[in-house]
Amino acid sequence: MAGAFGITLLCSWLFFTCIVQAQTGPIDVTQLGAKPDGSADMSQVLADAWKQACNSTTATTILIPKGTFLLKEASLVGPCKAPVEVQIQGTIKAPEDPAQISKDKEWMTIMYVDQLTLTGGGTLDGQGAKAWTQNECRVKTECSKLPNTLSVNFVNNTVIRDLTSLNSKLFHVNLFGCNNITFQHFTITAPGDSPNTDGIHIGHSTGVVITDSNIGTGDDCISIGDGAKQVNISKVTCGPGHGISVGSLGRYDNELPVEGIFVTDCTISGTLNGVRVKSWPAAKSGSATNMHFEGIIMQNVSNPVIIDQEYCPNNQCTNTAPSSVKIAQVSFKNITGTSATPAVVTLLCSKSIPCEGVEVADIDLAYNGNQGNVSSNCANVKPALSGKLNPPICANATIPAQAA
């Protein structure tokens, strides 16, 4: 009996030790059955790993090691009992065919989580090339939506760093209803002609930081939608793409204000626009205030500085009334480099609600093309001007009498 009891104790002690190790070490998806062969779907394995990590009362790491893993789709939903880190060291691939992802779902969705870290140096490969040929949303208002690579909804106090998003089918990252999200050393890569592949889209979120990152894609490198507040973008390299944009705004009813956008020390190269604020010509109201763009280097950028309140891509506008979006307290300062178009500064504000509190200072943008002389184009705005201005900015700008 004594011997048997001792063995039981030893076995119990070994079992206890094993449990402690399982709780304190990372949850390796390959230990749960995921195969790094690029063909075996790891969706259920990742769901199981997430459930285990999310239910842990101590901070837990999920490890996706080096190798190539197929993931048909994932929904990582909280709330969790403690912080979770997902360490992606390998490459996770989406199905090439978007039809393999559930209708109206995103490829990877994270919801209702606090204190999450996504990191590891790995890659999220959206395998978007086949889907791009099916994208009709760029030319039709009624169209079937393709899945985003990463949809982050109602997530707080989270860091996404040292990861790459490659060839998304639609947006690389979409934020909605989030607070205190930081992107650092985040790389986004897709061809310049990949349609609607916004890099990071921010909507209804507060306290978003994007820094030390490299974004090249087929649409806006960063797009800031309604309800975005206190967004800080710094040391970002953007291009190819459509630049860094606030908007488009004013397309839908009941849009929330945009407030506190700071874009500093960025380099924009070979894009269709530089730094831009855009709203649709329509009677739907909204506002964008306290926006500042400073210390930007332009390298062969079309439309380097632009406010466009007549934004209407592919002639989709049914209402040609002036924009009802109020734009105020905007500054463009210390913006230098080269333009691919002769109009280097374009400020086209709404005739019904002219822009207010616009500042332009220390602009030095050269145009070496053959399409005309370097110029600026301004309407319905009287900006405050200071410092070196090359070319002269808004020399003949006026505000309509009925709006003054």
238 and 314 housed in the same domain? yes
| 213: in domain | no
190 and 79 housed in the same domain? yes
| 305: in domain | yes
Exposed / middle / buried, residue 32 (Cβ in 10 Å: 0-12, 13-18, 19+):
middle
| 174: in domain | no
296 and 195 housed in the same domain? no
Query: Per-residue pLDDT for 210 more than 90?
Result: yes
Q: The dihedral of CA 44, 65, 108, 160: what is its sign? A: positive
Residue closest to 170 by CA, chosen among 134, 205, 142: 134
pLDDT band at 269 (very low <50, low <70, confident <90, very high): very high
Which tens digit of pLDDT belongs to each residue from 11-65? 333 333 333 334 458 999 999 999 999 999 999 999 999 999 999 999 999 999 9
278 is in which domain, residue-wise? Answer: 220-403
247 and 329 housed in the same domain? yes
120 and 55 housed in the same domain? yes
277 and 395 housed in the same domain? yes
296 and 198 housed in the same domain? no
pLDDT band at 397 (very low <50, low <70, confident <90, very high): low
Q: How many structural domains is the chain composed of?
A: 2
Distance from the Cα of residue 59 to its chain's centroid: 27
pLDDT band at 400 (very low <50, low <70, confident <90, very high): low
Distance CA 147, CA 174 (A): 11
| 225: in domain | yes
When pLDDT is averaged across residues 135-164 and rounded to a whole number, the result is: 89
| 20: in domain | no
Active site residue 242: yes
Selected catalytic residue, list 172, 185, 201, 242: 242
233 and 102 housed in the same domain? no
| 27: in domain | no
CATH number at residue 346: 2.160.20.10
Which tens digit of pLDDT belongs to each residue from 331-387? 999 999 999 999 999 999 999 999 999 999 999 999 988 998 999 999 999 999 999
267 and 368 housed in the same domain? yes
Which tens digit of pLDDT belongs to each residue from 82-140? 999 999 999 999 999 999 999 888 999 999 999 999 999 999 999 999 999 998 876 67
